[in-house]
Amino acid sequence: MYLIASRAGIITGKLLAKSLGLQFHNNVEQIKSGSEVMIRYGNAQQSTRIGKDTDCNSRDSILKMSAKHLLWQYLEDSGIMTPRYYRPEDVPTNLSYPYLARSKMHRAGKDIIICNNPWDTPNNPEYIVPYYPTLREYRVHVAFGNVVKVLRKYAVDENSNEKIRTSTYGWRYNSSSLDQVQCAKAMVETALNTAEILDAKFCGIDMAWSSKEHGLGKWIVWEVNSAPSLNSSSLKLYTDLFKENLSERLRKYEIYKSEQNNARNKTTDRRNERKRPSEYPIPRPRRMRKNNTSKVRRRTHT
């Protein structure tokens, strides 16, 4: 039984697999044929080698979370605010500066280019995204229908970029709690609704609060992560949550592993029985002893 992870989730995925007693891989084409996948940690690969797939998270759910440029399409009917990605030819004429130039595939905001005027816009950008001013940004961990952890972004120093709050631009996460969050009830509702729409059993949701002074007065969902990175305390939290919610499948897998180990031990014992030496050593043939003796003598004489 496997936990399969994406390349971005390899480190965390390995640690989770070890803590849960699962086999790990990041390439489904190299797992044992007919194997069961218990957890997909950001990996949406498909293969005939998978005997039984999982809904934690399902392949379709991961594809939705990974398509960050399409997130607005999944959430717009629910009233959840999320930035729309425009192809350059579809940018509305009334879109005001500043806006962001972005790539289809991105991580940690490394692709973001802030465009304050037409001359800042790169040639042939993949997407143009409206800029929304916000007051605070958070990573909200949702698992099995509950908000289980909240982290808040803080500036590393005075040089941190106020418009783009990513690690690339000088921001990092620190622990927080719902008690410390203003409009926490709306945050929880937005996070749980987002996870439900995407059918995510677990995820890390990047969110920000935009005040009424900024023209919105609501929570904005930036993106949803299907393989959130975890520190030591978050790793223990996720391990406990998986053990609690997947307890029956994990129990059956432990029984299966125990049976397999017993079968291997019995096979090894039978092989050792056949290889066990006789109680009495077999004497060497007389001719062999003579030949060896004569060879020794000739070497000695020489």
The pLDDT tens digits of the residues spanning 98-110 come to 999 998 776 777 7
The parent domain of residue 93 ranges over: 84-131
Give a yes or no: residue 26 inside a domain: yes
Instruction: Specify the range with the lowest mean pLDDT, choosing from 60-64, 118-122, 136-140.
Output: 118-122
Q: 53 with 89, same domain?
A: no
Top mean-pLDDT range of 113-122, 150-159, 199-208? 199-208
Residue 301 buriedness (CB in 10 A; 0-12 / 13-18 / 19+): exposed
Residue 291 has pLDDT above 60, yes or no: no
Q: Which residues pair with 147 in a beta bridge?
A: 142
Residue 129 has pLDDT above 80, yes or no: yes
Q: 7 with 53, same domain?
A: yes
Give a yes or no: residue 263 inside a domain: no
Conformation bin of residue 223: beta by default, left when phi > 0, alpha when psi is -120 to 50: beta
Residue 300 has pLDDT above 60, yes or no: no
Q: Measure Cα distances from 146 to 11, 23, 133, 260 in Å.
A: 25, 27, 28, 36
Residue 114 has pLDDT above 80, yes or no: yes
Q: Is pLDDT larger for residue 265 or for residue 55?
A: 55
Q: 57 with 6, same domain?
A: yes
Residue 207 buriedness (CB in 10 A; 0-12 / 13-18 / 19+): buried
Residue 139 neighbours by CB distance under 10 Å = 20
Two structure tokens written together for 39: 């957890």
pLDDT digits (tens, 9 = 90+) for 252-277: 777 766 666 666 666 666 666 666 66
Top mean-pLDDT range of 36-40, 207-211, 248-252? 36-40
Kindly give, in sequence order, each residue whose CB lies less than 8 Å from that of residue 46, ignoring residues fewer than 6 positions away.
28, 59
Kindly give, in sequence order, each residue whose CB lies less than 8 Å from that of residue 151, ignoring residues fewer than 6 positions away.
138, 139, 140, 141, 173, 174, 175, 176
Instruction: Specify the range with the lowest mean pLDDT, choosing from 142-156, 227-241, 288-302.
Output: 288-302
pLDDT (mean) for 102-130: 85
Give a yes or no: residue 230 inside a domain: no
pLDDT (mean) for 204-214: 86
Give a yes or no: residue 294 inside a domain: no
d(CA 281, CA 278) in angstroms, rounded, equals: 6
Give a yes or no: residue 15 inside a domain: yes
Q: 58 with 110, same domain?
A: no
Q: Which residues pair with 209 in a beta bridge?
A: 136, 219
**Residue 211 has what pLDDT?**
77
Which of 24, 129, 6, 107 has its CA nearest to residue 63? 6
| Predicted confidence band of residue 42 (pLDDT cuts 50, 70, 90) | very high
**Residue 197 has what pLDDT?**
96
Number of domains in the chain: 2
d(CA 140, CA 191) in angstroms, rounded, equals: 7
Q: Is pLDDT larger for residue 261 or for residue 196?
A: 196
Give a yes or no: residue 17 inside a domain: yes
Alpha-carbon torsion, ordered 210, 215, 217, 222, to 10 deg: -40
Which of 244, 145, 231, 125 has its CA nearest to residue 191? 145
d(CA 124, CA 100) in angstroms, rounded, equals: 13
Q: Is pLDDT larger for residue 260 or for residue 174?
A: 174
**Residue 168 has what pLDDT?**
83
**Residue 182 has what pLDDT?**
84
Give a yes or no: residue 109 inside a domain: yes
% of the chain beyond a pLDDT of 70: 82
**Residue 165 has what pLDDT?**
87
pLDDT (mean) for 38-48: 95
Q: Is pLDDT larger for residue 104 or for residue 153?
A: 153
Predicted TM-score (pTM) of this structure: 0.82
Contact (Cβ atoms closer than 8 angstroms) between residue 206 and residue 148: no
Q: Is pLDDT larger for residue 14 or for residue 257?
A: 14
Give a yes or no: residue 269 inside a domain: no
